[in-house]
Each structure stands twice: as C-alpha cells, then as structure tokens.
Amino acid sequence: MSYNNYDSGYSNTSYGGGGGGGGGFDPNGSQNSPSGGKREFQQDSMRAVTIKQILEAEPSGNSFNIDGSSITNLTFVGQIRNISSQKTFTTYKLDDGTGSIEVKKWIDSNAAEEVDPVKSRLVEGSYCRAWGKLNSFGDKRHVGVHNIRPVEDMNEVSYHLLEATVVHLHFTRGPPGGAAGAGGAAPQQQNQQLDTSDNYGAANLSGYSSVAKRVFQYMQDAPQTNEGLHQQDIAAKLGVDTADVARAGDDLLSGGLIYTTVDDQTWAILEAE
C-alpha cells in the first residue's frame, strides 16, 4: 500500500473502482448533480478514512479538515445497515465499526430505465466501498457518493483499515524516516539510543510503561485475526485491570504501534513494512 502524494494528489487503492485504472470515479471527470446536470471537478485528492474520522472532521470554510489537512474526496468501507430508495437518489446507511453515516447516490436520469447489476448486489448486511465528498446540512453530515460497489474480497476491509491508519500517521507524524508531524513525537521516539532489552521485533518500547510492553508482547504472540484482540480479553489473559490495559492501548495507539479494528477497544498490531 502506498501513501505517496496524499497531500497533493489523487491516489487509488489496488482494489480499484475509485479512479485511475479502477474504472470508477475519475477526479478529472464529472459527477451527477441532484438536478441531473453535470458538475466538473478540478484535480482533487482522494483519501482513505474511517467513518469516525468523517464524523469528527473539522469544518473549514466550504470543506473539512482531517488531521489538519483539507479533504476533498474520500473513500471508505462499511457494512450496509439500511437502504432507502427515492425517485432521484438512493440512501445507504453504512457502518464500519467506528461509526455510521448515510451516503447518497444520485440516480442518473438518462440511465434510469437501465438495470444496474451493481445496485442489485448492494443489499442490507453486505459490505461495500464508497467514494465521494463530505457534505453537511445543519448538524447532520452525509457523503454524496460518486461511486459505490460491493466488496468482493473481505481482505479489502482489513486493507482499508491499514491504509487509513498509514495515511493518518503520515499526516500526524510525517513520512517514514522523517521528523514527527503535528501529532508530536511518540514515546519511543524520545529515546534516540535503542535499548535492546526493549525491542519487540521491529518495535522499540523503551519509552513505554511495563503494562504497555506486556500488552504489546501478548498481542505479538497471540494468534492473529482480522478482527484483532479486545482490551477486555487482553486484560483477562494478563491478569491486569482493564483500565490499565486501556491506558496502555492509548499509548500504543498514539505511538503508531497498534490500530483499532472493529471498534475503539479492539486492536491489532501495525506490522512494520
């Protein structure tokens, strides 16, 4: 996965469908407007995000900021919880474990009579990937999607969470090997001299608490799944208070050593490339 040029240009994932050679949204192309006309887009960026990031994005003029960087187009993966069809658009309520949001797909009046084989596979309970722009009316936000398609390979769900994590780290801590970004230096970065006794694989935990080290070691040794490990299970296995494990998890999350999966209390190790 690549996070090059996230702050200056469009980048699509290897799963396709969102631009480039994927056959989906073209950032240099056009989008249907509610009135059925066409609206041209300039060269915009495409960013992989979670729904929680969308809901917490900060308004900035006519757009929004995530991690202090302006977003124009975004892509995310979620499970369809509800579908509502109107004459001019279809609303899908998507949930990715971090939150839920409505996305609206406008119907092309010129193709209204055609049977859409993709739409027929977008059913409640299935997973899909969406590309679009964040909109806000009053206090309610939704995403106007340029393209939405079913997820064919469930590995795409895990891939997307990893990609969103990498992009988040890029903006908050800088590119690999560079200086820390707006998020500040992580605890392990504050100690430039590596202590070999605190090296856990490729991770240096010299600046972390003993509980954080035990949590990371357990997560590293435990059988790995796409869902990760819940903090209550980790606490039970280690015989440590859940609150202490939660604090240790917060430190490891801010240090970029683990990432959240299905919810804020379920974590997996971010493997070094």
Express each pLDDT in 69-106 by its tens digit: 888 899 999 999 999 998 889 999 999 999 999 999 98
Structural domains in the chain, CATH included, are 30-153 (2.40.50.140), 185-269 (1.10.10.10)
The model's pLDDT over 217-250, given as tens digits with 9 standing for 90+, comes to: 998 888 877 778 888 889 888 898 988 999 998 8
pLDDT at residue 61 in the model: 82
What digits encode the pLDDT tens for the residues 31-46?
A: 344 434 434 333 457 8
pLDDT at 14: 42
Sign of CA dihedral 128, 129, 132, 134: positive
Tell me the pTM.
Answer: 0.54
Whether the predicted pLDDT of 183 surpasses 50: no
Residue ranges of E strands in the chain: 30-32, 38-40, 46-48, 58-60, 63-66, 69-71, 73-85, 89-95, 100-106, 127-137, 140-150, 199-200, 203-204, 229-230, 258-260, 266-269
Tokens 């190790």 belong to residue: 269
Of 116, 215, 63, which Cα lies nearest the Cα of 105? 116
Please give the Cα distance from 121 to 83 (Å, whole number).
12
**Alpha helices by DSSP H, 152-273:** 155-173, 210-221, 231-238, 242-254
